[in-house]
Amino acid sequence: MLNPIRERKLRYLFQILDRNHDGVLSRQDFEQLIGEITKMRAWKWGTSQYEELHFFWMGFCNRLEVWADQNGDGKITEAEWLWYLEQMLDRFEASYIQKAFTNITLKVMDFSQDNQVSIDEFTKFHQIYETDIEEVHQTFLHLDLNKDGYLTKDELTTLLNEFLYSENPQSPGNWFWGNPDIPVNN
């Protein structure tokens, strides 16, 4: 059984990934996500950045279709998502997925390509989600563990790990995808 704090975070992540808001995850959501990011970054089809982003998210989508979609209807329900993650996160492959995700996330947010994410870059990235600017700044302050004004790969690695595994309601990584206290719709 997933601890309630972890379950709440993973349900929150499900909602973020459900880009077309139809209550399930499907290829459409991942195609839309890739479209949103590549449009924002002006990454053209065929460039290495586009390929890497596409490879990660469609690879993740394929994985969900094979391992999480229990009834094979091409739609991952929230229950299937939680069932899959609970098992996958305890397996060794989880560390590979986390590493690939951290690398691609850093590239997506690092407009200046100096291998770290400033608050301006972070804000620019969150325009995709139309998140309130105050909320974005508050999120950044939680995530910037050493308070130097930048998110580094080490920080993102620690934060993602906390998001996925921490059962402590105070862990900064709970903020990885924004304010974790926003209620989850049913």
Query: Which residues contact Ca ion by CB under 5 A?
Result: 18, 20, 22, 29, 110, 112, 114, 144, 146, 148, 150
State the nearest-atom distance from the C-beta of 6 to Ca ion, in Å. Answer: 22
Extended strands (E) in the chain:
117-118, 150-151
Q: Which is nearer to Ca ion, 148 or 181 (CB)?
A: 148
State the nearest-atom distance from the C-beta of 1 to Ca ion, in Å. Answer: 26
Helix (H) / strand (E) containing 85: helix 78-88
State the nearest-atom distance from the C-beta of 121 to Ca ion, in Å. Answer: 5
Q: Which is nearer to Ca ion, 80 or 144 (CB)?
A: 144
State the nearest-atom distance from the C-beta of 69 to Ca ion, in Å. Answer: 13
CA 85, distance to chain mean position in Å, is 13
Q: How far apart are CA 18 and CA 160, in angstroms?
A: 19
Report whether 177 contacts 13 (CB < 8 A): yes
Q: Which is nearer to Ca ion, 56 or 150 (CB)?
A: 150
Q: Within a 10 A sphere around the Cβ of 156, how many other Cβ atoms?
A: 23
21: left (phi over 0), alpha (psi -120 to 50) or beta: left
Q: Which is nearer to Ca ion, 22 or 93 (CB)?
A: 22
Q: Which is nearer to Ca ion, 125 or 150 (CB)?
A: 150
- Amino acid in position 76: I
Report whether 60 contacts 68 (CB < 8 A): no
State the nearest-atom distance from the C-beta of 24 to Ca ion, in Å. Answer: 5
CA 88, distance to chain mean position in Å, is 16
The residue sitting closest to Ca ion, measured at its beta carbon, is 112
